Amino acid sequence: MPTIAIVGAGPGMGLAIARTFGGRGFDVALISRTKEKLQTLVDQLGQQGITAEAFPADVLERDSLASALDAVKARFGSIDVLEYSPAPQYPSPGATLAAPSESTVDNLQPQIEYIFYGAVAATQAVLPAMREAGAGTLLFTTGGGSVDPVPMLGNVNAAGAALRNWVINLGKELSGSGVHAAHVAISVWIGDGGPEGFPTATPEQIAPLYWDLHESRDRSEAVFKA
């Protein structure tokens, strides 16, 4: 069975992506900070006949993230698809929203650590084996502001744009290797409760895009719009 590792797995997009790949024969490794929340998702997937397992880790603790991904490989044999999309954590120490003119090194750094450096660390943990196998998919998620920035998210969008640039460049480097890298920018509010007038979509509407990127392997970016 092929395996997908979802870093930042939660009850929204993470679960929908897990169902999308798990329903097509993938084993699913769920990675995030809280084991109890992960176990709830594992149980839900199991009820649908999908083999899933929880691997607690914090993307800000690089050793913990690398150990979790190593544990996934030990449990399932390989990681064929990596999907990285840790959900924003607000409020959290050091993580605040700032407009471009209010952005400082201090409020940019936590966003870069979480959004960009975490993705780089996860990639380093799985890419060597993918290169050796000549196969694999690397998928990275940001908000639509990484492509079309929003002033109130000046520091967040800057970190997302850095990740976007790096992923697209990684895809160029990996061309012809059998490993595909792609970026997903979600330009809608996911679920209910978004700002008035802002477009919305359900995780189930968005998740098939990830399967299409994995299967088609024909582009390095997809922007989801309502």
Query: CB-hemisphere CA count at 13 Å for 19?
Result: 19
Helix axes 13-22, 208-216, angle to 10 degrees: 50
Neighbours of 131 (CB within 10 A): 14
As a whole number of angstroms, the distance between CA 29 and CA 111 comes to: 25
Q: Digits of tens for pLDDT over the chain (226 positions)? A: 999 999 999 999 999 999 999 999 999 999 999 899 999 999 999 999 999 999 999 999 999 999 999 999 999 999 999 999 987 655 454 568 899 999 999 999 999 999 999 999 999 999 999 999 999 999 999 999 999 999 999 999 999 999 999 999 999 999 999 999 999 999 988 877 666 767 889 999 999 999 999 999 999 999 998 7
What total of structural domains would you count in the chain?
A: 1
Q: In the prediction, which pLDDT does 54 show?
A: 97
Both tokens assigned to 69: 């991904």
C-alpha distance from residue 197 to each of 99, 194, 223 (Å) = 21, 8, 19
Q: In the prediction, which pLDDT does 192 show?
A: 74
204: CATH:
3.40.50.720
Residue 129 belongs to what domain range? 3-224
As a whole number of angstroms, the distance between CA 47 and CA 55 comes to: 19
C-alpha distance from residue 173 to each of 33, 120, 121 (Å) = 31, 15, 17
Q: In the prediction, which pLDDT does 89 show?
A: 55
